Structure 1
Amino acid sequence: MRVCLFTRWPEAGKAKTRLIPALGAAGAADLHRRLTEHTVATVLASGLHCEVRSTGAEVGAFEDWLGVAAIDQGDGDLGERLARAAEDLPVLLIGADCPGLTHAHLQRAADALAHAAAVIGPAEDGGYWLLGLAAPAPVFDGIAWGGPRVFAQTVARLSAPPVVLDCLADLDVPADLARWPGF
């Protein structure tokens, strides 16, 4: 099973920009670096194949940094970039903004795809922290990315109810920092 981790290069002023007011540009970039490294380690601990979908630097820089294969995300909105990663199924799609993600979450998601066409992990902010597909699904067009209805809009586009995993919290905005003081 392939896990595609969508992340960007941890460049000050371009990574975790919504956290800059609280952490400064360098602090937000450093937090993003730690989150990405944590997520790669979590995927590797799950025993699943980790593939980084990168942006903001050359693929080789990501491979040197993280020690796993990387592929450039390419152009387009998030939906177009996710759709490209989901051309080869089955796949689990994740980001690098969920400190509570564990290898057990990923193993449960992979196990779910053995008997379901889709699996999704809702996020407290109305999005999702994981989307897994075992069959093609038109779930990437017309989504209000970053909004509070991403989870609901995605589930509505699936032809059958997905397996729904635990609800987890993202670390995206200054208010989220209180939940993850040691991160």
Structure 2
Amino acid sequence: MSTADHHDWSFTAARVPASFTACRGTDAPAAEHALAGSATLCGIPRDQVTVYRHLFSARKAEACPECRTRAADAPAEPGVQELLHGRLEHAAPTGLRDELLAALRQGADVRLWINGPTQQVVRSYAELHRIVEGGELLTPVVRGGGRLGLARVVHGAQEFVVFLPEGGVPLVARAAPA
């Protein structure tokens, strides 16, 4: 959902249903359960389930009825715009950051948000040649090690690139149109 789709966009309206990791009881694998922290939604301790690398789906026939009900009743979670907004609120205040925060509050399109080893993320996704504003602060980030989050946000004719170094301060740059 973006401002192009809905003029009354809000973080609240953009919230998404809660998601849970899928698992099955070690001794009774017929039903699929929803894992939340240290136990399933129906109360089976985590050490008594086999965890899977996909999300619980209440629509599956083998879904545990109690997990299905509790998953449906779980509070909605923040959408991608709200999550990125929260990460940027504590970044160094700059005009670009403020523009991007305003754009996110209006439902800007977060087209990409990826995390990985810094060098790999920069090489494959940063497109540094397109940075036209805010690039002067990026050198230590893009040459650093560790892990990096990178988000591309489009709002109208503007494209923002957000660099989220693990354990560091987020930086916002502007990219030329593709």
Report the structure, 1 or 2, having the larger helix content.
Answer: 1
- TM norm structure 1: 0.26
Which structure's residues are more often strand, by fraction?
2
**Higher RCO structure, 1 or 2 (CA under 8 Å, sep 6+):** 1
- Return the TM-score normalized by structure 2: 0.27
Q: Which has the larger radius of gyration?
A: 2
